[in-house]
Structure 1
Amino acid sequence: MPHSLSPGRLPQGGGLRWKLWILTLLAALCIGLLAGATLYQSVGGFVRAKLNARAISQFAASFEAANHISAERGPANDLMSADPARREPARRRLQQYRARTDRSLRRLATTQLPAGLLARVERDLELARQRVDIVALLDPAARRFDQVQAAIDAMFAAWDSYSRLIQWQAAQLVRQDEALSAAVLKSMSLGNLREYAGRIGSYIVAPMAAGMEVPVANRIQLQIARGRLLELWQLLSPGIEVLPAADPVRQQHELARRHYLRHGLALVDQLLNEYPYPMDALAFTDHYVATMQPLETLRNLLLGQTLAQAEQHRQQAWRTLWLLGLITLLALLLLAALVLALQYYVFGPLLRAADAVFALADGDAEPPRARRQDAGEIRRLFAAMGIVSDRLRERARLTRELEQLAITDSLTGLLNRRAIDRLGRKALAGTRRQDTPCLILIDVDHFKAINDTHGHPAGDQVLRELAGLMRAQLRPSDHLGRFGGEEFAVLIEGAGLAQATRLARRLKRAIRHHRLDLDNGARLTITASLGVAGGPGLDWEQMIALADQALYRAKAAGRDRVRSQRAPDTPD
């Protein structure tokens, strides 16, 4: 007999509400103070340190490519100065340097550097290489100073183009974190130091290769490069000379001072003041490049230190994040203890009530009784269950029926396969011989190509639009559904196979003549293949099989076709 418990007769109580609020506020306070105030800053610091380490690593890779472009001038100068006997070894050496430069540039192409700047570097570098190759093909006696110098100037221009890319990257680093400005400035100064040293030697190679004294213009450019090099050296030296004597950077700094500033520049001065030259261009290049090697090693050491510091900051940020995460874990453990209390005082009784509701909904049990120690709200809840016991049983029965009838395909809004199957079996079970329903299966032609070419969202758009297009061609009594994937089905009642075939042809024409504009701007023309089946004496599975056979024949005939299939014992 249904319960008739009125609200006035329900047990009263209010203690549970206050307990729930107090415990919830305590838990929220712990999480807010320990997790929100600490983890936010820690995660931000770790992410920033990680991004800085990655950015500095990419910056160092950019300087590696710059060094390769600069170093390529050495073997290029050798090739333009070589006599026929030494030309082939010089060419092979230059090819190795060029390959190394190209590998560095290809690696940079995978980063987020501006494509326009990188493309300009590649164009200028290719032009410089062409000029070097043209000079190298000339007979040594026919090489003119202006030709050699133009090739060297083109190599300078390629490096200058690349320096703009480094400047862009440096600006991005400083914009990302102003604390990186010192490291960026030091790295750029070291790169320019190596470049100016290389240019000083190149200003001498061209006249040596042409067998003439160093002209005034080259002397002026050489002195300008020399002045800039010494300025950079004086800028970097104070920060290095305060390091301990055993520090590798300070030792390399002293080695660079002795080898390059003392011997390398002295060799340049000697050639500026002696003509005829005491050595040829190849010998000068070998000696001079050897004195520059400590400069390159010094630059690599300082860059390595910068990278190591960035990695150290990242690891420190990670340790801080881990420590704060541990603190947060302790807070969560405290929250777990609070939850256990909630479980005993609140959620335990509520879960019992929930289980009772489920049992009532299934009609498996009567509502349980409240316990003496339950709070007043819980006792009222259990008492109220008796009111809805009978209604829940009735609603459960209606819900099961509605769930079977209301199932639709979520993408197209059509009936789904389960609904079509149910309607088909029901139609076949209740028809006379002359009223046997027919089934049309529609398969979108080349649908996989649409997905592969335009993406799955475009494929979904095609299915939705075709669903609306076909729905407009059907009678209200016809059942249209998505049978699976790109396949649709139409269940037709009160029509023979001939009428169903005519409807299939109308659907085919409507699909073929429809122009579908995708969201990505593409316009598609879609076709479909259709298979029609019908006839007396069939069950639903047999009708599906016949329609599928007809669809297969439509596909085999070249697609965009309609084929029909009668039951085996149906007369023509």
Structure 2
Amino acid sequence: MNTLRSEQLSKRLYWAMSIVIFCLLLICIPLIVNSSQKFTQSYRTYYQLEALRDLADLANKISRERGPANMLMISSADEFKQKQEMLLEYRAKVDDQLEHTAQQLKESGFNELSQQIYTVLKPSLEYGRQQVDAYVALPYDERNAAQLDTSILAMFQVWDNSRRLLKSLVIESDVSSSKIAHFVSQILLLADLRDQAGRVVSNITAPVTFGETIPEQNRNRSLQTQYRVRYLWDLIDTVQPKEDKTPEFIKLHQDIKKYFIDQGIPLAASLIEDSLQHRPYHLTAMQISEMIGDHFAKVVDMQSYLLQYSHDVAQKEMRSNLKYLIGTIVISLISLMTAISSMVFARRHIFLPLIHARKILFDLSSSAKTDSSALQSLSKDNSDSLFAGIKKLQQMLQQRDALEFRLKNIAHSDPLTGLSNRFALDEYIRFLEQSPSQFSQTCLMIIDIDHFKQVNDQYGHIVGDEIIQLVAQCLKSNVRTSDLLVRYGGDEFLVLIENIELENALQIAEKICREIEAASIQNKAGERIQVSVSIGVAVGASSWVNLFTQADKALFGAKAKGRNAVAEA
């Protein structure tokens, strides 16, 4: 029967272990899946942001190509070759960026946008360049402001197409992170700011080049562009989260205001004012292009900073999610291994020994000599369980404890009076000596029965025992149960009281003395026998020896008074 029960316990243990492991898997697997999804999303976001960054860089380069193109178209014959080389060199950079961006978009999964670079943007760029080249091919005396403005507008159209691609990429990007999502909008806004800043001067370049009055259409385009620049400048600051407004961002944002909006735009505004007042332009088109380029650098710096900052944030988040994924996997594996090894250890070193101990315990409890009625009641309540064996042993231990208590009580008690004996006194003194300071507030009374030997010799030992019991009873009735009463010798008693003043101790001693004096016993002959006691009282000492010595001296003092008296140390 016991073997069968042990097998059942082992099976239950295996089931419990399996359930614990299954629960751990239910916790760990969702955590791993969730962290894996976060990493995958951040990984995809990082490369989508890279593609967005490349496309924004392409749009910026296309917008910037207007600079060397405009300078070539307004250059003099002496400057023509230098400006042409600058333009061709820059066009090569734009072409390289175009190929790189198309490839990056394709690798990031934006195949349709990659195709549109070749089907929409590249033909538009080629057309714009053809317009520039056609204007440059004209002899200087055949050129006019309308032709120059048409060529400039053709390059505007190229950037408009690149912006549409950029906007489509922003819409298609799956950026779920709140830390990165706003950077996507920032990139689009900065691309707009970069282009609008370049158009401030481009819109009036043609009439200024030929010294003509700026047409209303060109003037309105330039004024609208100036307004958009200010609006975009303010919007970028509004969109940027407070925690991402680093000192560098704040400085660059302020520099755009200081160097471009407050110093660069007024240059274009002053030329518009010259045109309205029909005054000769105080700057040439080449001069205004070169001067505005210096102020325009702050816009480019801001754009470069935010592109790099967004890249760093996306990279940091991707690495953080990767660390979290690895950490989750490692912790999950450690948890599972710890749980499995702990349960194997518990089974081998705890449960199996306990099952074995149960059998031994049951065998011991079954073979033990216990009360038959107790065994019968336990057998009705799952007597073959570990707890049944424990209950049986518990009964045995209770019986042993009761016997031990009785033996200990006999060893510590005086059989005649029921008071503590000298063995109990020795244990109490050892306890007090652990903290010697307790003796300073402890009272010791030494009580001696007056002329006890004479009474004992005259009336016999039985009467003597009754007198001792009488004194013991008086002592019990006058002290607390927490105080220690000791039969120290044949006719001597000790009373130890903690935390008491001398005055109160003397009052108790006097009361004991008077009660014993008033009490009496009757012998078989009908005689009333009265006794008295002498009490020596001492309170406070540095040690037990000193306390006992003081009380003993006080007892001699009480006897010197004629007995039946109380004396203090």
Matched, 1:298 2:302: yes
Matched, 1:312 2:312: no
Q: Relative to structure 1, is the Cα distance of residues 322 and 310 closer, same or farther in structure 2, using a 3 angstrom cutoff?
A: same
* Rounded Cα–Cα distance in structure 1 between residues aligned with 2:238 and 2:73: 40
Where does residue 566 of structure 2 map in the other structure?
none
Where does residue 134 of structure 2 map in the other structure?
134
Where does residue 287 of structure 1 map in the other structure?
291
| Aligned residues of 1:244 and 1:250 also touching (Cα < 8 A) | no
Where does residue 77 of structure 2 map in the other structure?
84
317-326 or 128-137, larger mean C-alpha shift: 317-326
Matched, 1:117 2:116: yes
Q: Relative to structure 1, is the Cα distance of residues 242 and 37 closer, same or farther in structure 2, using a 3 angstrom cutoff?
A: closer
Report the alpha carbon displacement of residue 332 of structure 1 after superposing the two structures with TM.
3.3
Where does residue 182 of structure 2 map in the other structure?
182
Q: What is the CA deviation profile of residues 401-453 of structure 1, one whole-angstrom value per residue up to 9, with x for unaligned ones?
A: xxxxxxxxxxxxxxxxxxxxxxxxxxxxxxxxxxxxxxxxxxxxxxxxxxxxx
Percent of matched pairs sharing the same residue: 22
Matched, 1:322 2:316: no
Letter in 2 for 1:125: L
Q: Relative to structure 1, is the Cα distance of residues 68 and 271 closer, same or farther in structure 2, using a 3 angstrom cutoff?
A: same
* Rounded Cα–Cα distance in structure 1 between residues aligned with 2:327 and 2:314: 20
Where does residue 260 of structure 1 map in the other structure?
260
Letter in 2 for 1:161: N
* Rounded Cα–Cα distance in structure 2 between residues aligned with 1:18 and 1:209: 96
Q: What is the CA deviation profile of residues 178-201 of structure 1, one whole-angstrom value per residue up to 9, with x for unaligned ones?
A: 764422222211111111111111
Letter in 2 for 1:285: S
Report the alpha carbon displacement of residue 240 of structure 1 after superposing the two structures with TM.
6.4
Correspondence 1:218-233 to 2 at 5 A: 218-233=218-233
Q: Any idea what SS the aligned residue of 2:213 has?
A: coil
Q: What is the CA deviation profile of residues 379-399 of structure 1, one whole-angstrom value per residue up to 9, with x for unaligned ones?
A: xxxxxxxxxxxxxxxxxxxxx
Letter in 1 for 2:101: L
Matched, 1:48 2:47: no
Correspondence 1:200-219 to 2 at 5 A: 200-219=200-219
Where does residue 99 of structure 1 map in the other structure?
92
Q: Relative to structure 1, is the Cα distance of residues 239 and 109 closer, same or farther in structure 2, using a 3 angstrom cutoff?
A: closer
| Aligned residues of 1:66 and 1:162 also touching (Cα < 8 A) | yes
Q: Any idea what SS the aligned residue of 2:173 has?
A: helix
Q: Please give the TM-score of this superposition, normalised by the length of structure 1.
A: 0.54
Q: Any idea what SS the aligned residue of 1:316 has?
A: helix
Where does residue 71 of structure 1 map in the other structure?
64
| Aligned residues of 2:252 and 2:298 also touching (Cα < 8 A) | yes
39-48 or 336-345, larger mean C-alpha shift: 336-345
Q: Please give the TM-score of this superposition, normalised by the length of structure 2.
A: 0.54
Q: What is the CA deviation profile of residues 100-135 of structure 1, one whole-angstrom value per residue up to 9, with x for unaligned ones?
A: 111111111112342442120101000000010111
Report the alpha carbon displacement of residue 209 of structure 1 after superposing the two structures with TM.
2.9
Q: Relative to structure 1, is the Cα distance of residues 296 and 24 closer, same or farther in structure 2, using a 3 angstrom cutoff?
A: same
Where does residue 159 of structure 1 map in the other structure?
159
| Aligned residues of 1:174 and 1:181 also touching (Cα < 8 A) | no
Q: What is the CA deviation profile of residues 20-70 of structure 1, one whole-angstrom value per residue up to 9, with x for unaligned ones?
A: 54443333222222x213212111112212222222222112111111000
Q: Relative to structure 1, is the Cα distance of residues 164 and 178 closer, same or farther in structure 2, using a 3 angstrom cutoff?
A: farther
Larger radius of gyration: 2
Where does residue 168 of structure 2 map in the other structure?
168
| Aligned residues of 2:180 and 2:310 also touching (Cα < 8 A) | no
Q: Any idea what SS the aligned residue of 1:72 has?
A: helix
289-298 or 316-325, larger mean C-alpha shift: 316-325
Letter in 2 for 1:137: A
Equivalent residues, number:
332
Where does residue 434 of structure 2 map in the other structure?
none
Correspondence 1:480-499 to 2 at 5 A: none
Q: Any idea what SS the aligned residue of 1:94 has?
A: helix
Letter in 1 for 2:146: D
* Rounded Cα–Cα distance in structure 2 between residues aligned with 1:230 and 1:86: 34
Letter in 2 for 1:44: Q
Q: Whose RCO is larger (CA < 8 A, sep 6+)?
A: 1
Report the alpha carbon displacement of residue 323 of structure 1 after superposing the two structures with TM.
2.3
| Aligned residues of 1:27 and 1:338 also touching (Cα < 8 A) | no
Q: Relative to structure 1, is the Cα distance of residues 74 and 24 closer, same or farther in structure 2, using a 3 angstrom cutoff?
A: same
Q: What are the ranges of 5 or more consecutive residues in structure 2 without an aligned counterpart?
A: 1-6, 350-569
Where does residue 564 of structure 1 map in the other structure?
none
| Aligned residues of 1:214 and 1:272 also touching (Cα < 8 A) | yes
Q: Relative to structure 1, is the Cα distance of residues 124 and 241 closer, same or farther in structure 2, using a 3 angstrom cutoff?
A: same
Letter in 1 for 2:72: L
* Rounded Cα–Cα distance in structure 2 between residues aligned with 1:41 and 1:242: 29
| Aligned residues of 2:203 and 2:219 also touching (Cα < 8 A) | yes
Q: What are the ranges of 5 or more consecutive residues in structure 1 without an aligned counterpart?
A: 1-12, 346-572
Matched, 1:273 2:266: no
* Rounded Cα–Cα distance in structure 1 between residues aligned with 2:175 and 2:30: 26
Where does residue 26 of structure 1 map in the other structure?
20
Q: Any idea what SS the aligned residue of 2:281 has?
A: coil
| Aligned residues of 2:175 and 2:181 also touching (Cα < 8 A) | no
Letter in 2 for 1:58: A
Report the alpha carbon displacement of residue 282 of structure 1 after superposing the two structures with TM.
1.8
| Aligned residues of 1:31 and 1:331 also touching (Cα < 8 A) | no
Q: What is the CA deviation profile of residues 193-248 of structure 1, one whole-angstrom value per residue up to 9, with x for unaligned ones?
A: 11111111111111233332211110011112122111112222346696899811
| Aligned residues of 1:23 and 1:342 also touching (Cα < 8 A) | no
* Rounded Cα–Cα distance in structure 2 between residues aligned with 1:308 and 1:115: 25
140-149 or 157-166, larger mean C-alpha shift: 140-149
| Aligned residues of 2:102 and 2:115 also touching (Cα < 8 A) | no
* Rounded Cα–Cα distance in structure 2 between residues aligned with 1:317 and 1:230: 38
| Aligned residues of 2:58 and 2:94 also touching (Cα < 8 A) | yes
Correspondence 1:493-532 to 2 at 5 A: none
More helix by share: 2
| Aligned residues of 2:75 and 2:286 also touching (Cα < 8 A) | yes
Letter in 1 for 2:68: P
Letter in 1 for 2:26: G
Where does residue 435 of structure 2 map in the other structure?
none
Match of 2:31 among 29, 38, 43: 38
* Rounded Cα–Cα distance in structure 2 between residues aligned with 1:106 and 1:24: 58
Letter in 2 for 1:215: P
